[in-house]
Structure 1
């Protein structure tokens, strides 16, 4: 497999890009949470990598969920929260967070009136408006550490 560099496909401005709605695994729109698609490419056969910018407005949260692959988050602006393994952590500008594959976690939106903005790098990568980007942990499922 050989991926060739293509400026049209591989250079995307995450600050000026179009904000797109985000959805849970049932296709329900996550209100006041938006994603801006960044670069993505096939790194290995059937394995994509990608980077997106996520914007969460006050009063929002990503419910407890898992991803099929690991991802890194980097907080660009604002303050929010992360819930992992029953523990809550404060996220603020400059924080980087590693979340292992299939590890249940949730992100609390801003704790003040400024949006929480962060970069999300995922392997494998799913488009910001994809219903396969995350799988919610339902109330009847058991979460183990």
Structure 2
């Protein structure tokens, strides 16, 4: 077991003040209308990373159906949108949390009737950097 010491310079991150990062899909293509800001993260036991990032989705943007190597929880910070799982669009709004199991195909899209960006806090284990093409793998429905 490794001992991790708390480092406020590394372990306290403001997701509203962090620089914005462009996200890419598994083909290393920039995903239009979607930016992210890096939150806190750390390497924990057995080489696993844990972390949380803010995702900002402009109206009309979407994450196509994809998987992640680890489980994650999405927390909707503001606006409304949809998570697509098992062929169904489930509406999400501010305050909602959604658990997505590891390697489970899902997509996220904004509500076209809502002009405000959909903002989500994405918490994952293992966590992949926002700008990584390995963060998600595109799949077919």
- Alignment TM-score > 0.5, same fold: yes
Question: Aligned with 2:92: secondary structure?
Answer: strand
Gaps of 5+ in 1: none
CA contact (8 A) 1:70 1:98 kept: yes
Cα deviation per residue 1:10-59 (whole Å; 9 max; x = unaligned)? 11101111110000011100011011000000121210000000000011
User: What CA deviation, in whole Å up to 9, does each residue of 1:53-82 have, x standing for no partner?
Assistant: 000001100000000000000000000011
Task: Say which of 120, 123, 131 aligns to 1:121.
Answer: 123
Q: Aligned ranges for residues 1-145 of structure 1 at < 5 Å?
A: 1-111=2-112, 112-138=114-140
Name which of structure 1's ranges 105-114 and 75-84 shifts more when overlaid on structure 2.
105-114
Q: Distance in 2 between matches of 1:8 and 1:131?
A: 27
Note the residue ranges of structure 2 that are not aligned, 5 or more in a row.
Answer: none
Tell me the distance in 2 between the aligned counterparts of 1:62 and 1:12. 25
Given the two structures, how large is their TM-score scaled by the length of structure 2? Answer: 0.95
CA shift, 1:3, in A, is 1.1
State the secondary structure of the residue aligned to 1:45: helix
Q: Aligned residues, how many?
A: 139
Large movers: runs of 4+ above 3 Å: none
Q: Normalized against structure 1, the TM-score is what? A: 0.93
